[in-house]
Structure 1
Amino acid sequence: MIKPREKAPELSIKLVNDTTWKLSEQSPENFTLILFYRGKHCPVCQKQLEQLQKSLPKFTERGVNVIAISTDTEEIAKATHNEWAIDDIPLGYGLSIDEARKWGLFISSGIKQEPEFFAEPGLFLLTADSIVYWESIQSMPFGRPEFRDVLGGIDYILKADYPARGEA
């Protein structure tokens, strides 16, 4: 598990637009928000990512770069991008189970129409120099942070110069 105030693991992930996103190359004004989602099989993920799409301008206004990542294959991730209303979200795929574990994500074995193994949801807010500031990790598809709450938190953090918490 990564604690707040620790350097995030390096992350290099392929995107559905046939480019590669690297954490070490990010230079946000304030933060990078990494949203790990379960995959195309998850209707809760679709709702969450479509809400993120609607909230994207508000994150951009606050100097936050956003990416959503799953363990899905390229084919499935491209179908996700085409079928869900998430046109402006950089969508990464192919996160390995080992990489997901480095981030402290819970791993599930599939049931019904799910992949054999996949990562459960996680939200990470990283400083401009890739230090973990805020993390929210779920073991289930339910109970994810609402983006209005995350945005409100970012507003407070920036206004009050509030430090990362949870490192002790």
Structure 2
Amino acid sequence: MKNLKPRHEVPELRVKTTKGVDYNLQSSKPENFTMVIFYRGIHCPVCKKYLEELNTKIDQFREKGVDVICISSNNKELAQKTVEEWDVDNLNIGYDFSIDEGRKWGLFISEKEKESEPDVFVEPALFLVRPDSTLYSASIQSMPFARPKFDELLKSISFVVKEDYPARGEA
């Protein structure tokens, strides 16, 4: 597991999206941050609820200069099914994120426990990445529970931008 540090460059991130775009984090130039959300996949009801909530708040993040990409290790077919079955039409959904790449990001990896799960998949995480591709903050989970709350993130991002609050935790 890679040890990512705030104020240091994050690993390269390139994924295909259900919108037909090849997403490249390092080419992304948001005003303030890119919020990278890794989710378990279509098999996860907690992910569904989380991304559907984000879908209702995406404009608020954009207004704060935050681009958002949501990524799983699901294949194209499952990612497309996610877009069709979940209320996530405002989100950019990336797919085919490899387990090896997940390890570079320090993500927890799980093996299949139920028939509905893929053989292996990434556990949830949320990263705020600066426009220069350096890590600002990270929340990495080993379970589908206890994820950052979007309303709290929106308030925090307002404070961070207004006060030019530095990334912490790099020592």
Answer whether TM exceeds 0.5 for this pair. Answer: yes
1:87 match: 89
Q: CA deviation at 1:88?
A: 1.2
Uncovered stretches (5+) of structure 1, i.e. residues with no partner: none
Offset of 1:133 from its aligned partner? Answer: 0.1
Kindly report which structure 2 residues correspond to 1:34-53, keeping only aligned pairs within 5 A, or say none.
Answer: 34-53=36-55
Amino acid at match of 1:23: L
Runs of 4+ residues deviating >2 angstroms: none
1:123 is matched by which residue type in structure 2? L
- Letter matched to residue 144 of structure 2: P
Structure-2 residue corresponding to 1:117: 120
Query: What's 1:154 paired with?
Result: 157
Task: Tell me how far apart the structure 2 counterparts of residues 24 and 123 of structure 1 sit (CA, whole Å).
Answer: 17
Provide the identity percentage. Answer: 52
**Candidates 138, 142, 146, aligned match of 1:143:** 146
Number of the residue aligned with 1:21: 23
Output the aligned Cα RMSD.
0.6
Instruction: Give the SS at the match of 2:127.
Output: strand
Q: Does 1:75 align with 2:38?
A: no
- Of 87, 100, 103, the residue aligned with 1:101 is 103
Q: Distance in 2 between matches of 1:60 and 1:17?
A: 18
- Where does residue 62 of structure 2 map in the other structure? 60
Give 1:18 deviation, angstroms. 2.0
Q: CA deviation at 1:134?
A: 0.6
Count of aligned pairs between the two proteins: 168
